[in-house]
Amino acid sequence: MHISFLLHNAYGIGGTIRTTFNLARTLAERHDVEIVSVFRHRDEPAMGAPAGVRLDYLVDLRKKSHGYDGDDERFALPAKVFPRGDGRHKQYSRLTDARLATHLRSTEADVVVGTRPGLNVHITRQTRRGPVRVGQEHLTLAGHGYRLRRELSHRYGMLDAVTTVTEADAHAYRTHLKLPGVRIEAVPNSVPAPLVAPADSSAKWVVAAGRLTKVKQYDLLVEAFAKVVAVRPDWRLRIYGSGDASGNEKDALHALIAELGLHNHVFLMGPANPIEPEWVKGSIAAVTSSHESFGMTIVEAMRSGLPVVSTDCPHGPREIITDGSDGRLVPVGDTGAVADALLGLINDDDLRRTMGAAALESSARFDPGPIAERHEALFTELVSRGSHGRSRGRFHDALHLSRGAVLDGAYSLRHKAASVLRKGQTA
């Protein structure tokens, strides 16, 4: 199969980029796989290009590049196709509308996979008749505003499948969107086995990782760790992650650490890529989020041999952690419960080692191989059934093509020439 992933920006850093790279790399062992990034703002992907996968882009934001698109007058005009309810709407424009239309109407892929709601809407409106259309959900339906949910209920009926990363979110799509004829499947994100040896549970460090945003509730974690330090002052906490654009959350955490006298016990480490060498420096991982669409950091920590103390928040943690076996689930927002769960592992060396070993073993189910096989089975079934040739798809494509959408000729020539060069370089 020829499988094409459509990604917002493959040159940045983020969970959706990481899991798309993991999936594409594994599928490329048996299929022709490409990733098409809407934007390119640096010369090389920050997270490293996945082996065996062609990487292309539609809009060049590198100011020193000969193909810089920021001066195109359409770049300053708001997008008409990309839905306003998607949080990335301000980054999209008439230029992205045109480039995406050119790409989707000329693609020769058997399967086209979108990786965020706005791009999934483009796939429903602009893809030529033929490819299977799959929309991936890396967040949650409940996390989208009313405006976007309304758009999705209207547009997603023209997809062949929607995949979510949790069973809970798949249930929400089946219950609330009512998409007859559309396959809705839960397939979790994959996390490769670390290249470093797993933690040995002897280090007196608790580790947390993720952006410094309110949803992560790191203030609650710091307050819980103050209770830990009162009993076990020999233990320390490292928090990895970049702050938000304003820096307010990071400043507030620094102030809280100072207020609680934890400057020798709690450390804001900044971002780390790769993160695996940092996980294995600890013996316990902590997650205190108010909600998680999946919980990539939970799986990463478990694959590094750490038991995870996590809030039992929607949607992911309860589908990853088996409470009392490979980690602990505690009520959301309960500082005392977080502290008690951490101390339970800190004060029992045998329990910590046993749970760490169980976490390492159970997390193997998130290896890229089995996860890719689940996607592959879905794609193969849809292609063989010819679901992409449904009458609604033919009607929809005929309608939009009849409106005389003009392809971006200059881009199309440059894009095809660049693709030929790239294919020659990777041959």
Fold (topology level) of 205-366: Rossmann fold (3.40.50)
pLDDT grade, residue 165 (50/70/90)? very high
Q: Which of 25-29, 67-71, 128-132 has the lowest mean pLDDT?
A: 128-132
- On average, the pLDDT of the chain sits at 90
Q: Which two tokens stand for residue 259?
A: 């207020």
Which pLDDT score, from 0 to 100, does residue 426 have?
Answer: 39
pLDDT grade, residue 137 (50/70/90)? very high
pLDDT grade, residue 408 (50/70/90)? low
Q: Which of 196-200, 326-330, 411-415 has the lowest mean pLDDT?
A: 411-415
Same-fold call for 2-190+368-426 versus 205-366: yes
Higher-confidence residue of 315 and 347: namely 347
- pLDDT over 90 (residue 388): no
Tell me the pTM: 0.86
Range 61-75 average pLDDT: 96
- pLDDT over 60 (residue 298): yes
pLDDT grade, residue 274 (50/70/90)? confident
- pLDDT over 70 (residue 397): no
Domain layout of the chain by residue ranges: 2-190+368-426, 205-366
**2-190+368-426 belongs to which homologous superfamily?**
Glycogen Phosphorylase B; (3.40.50.2000)
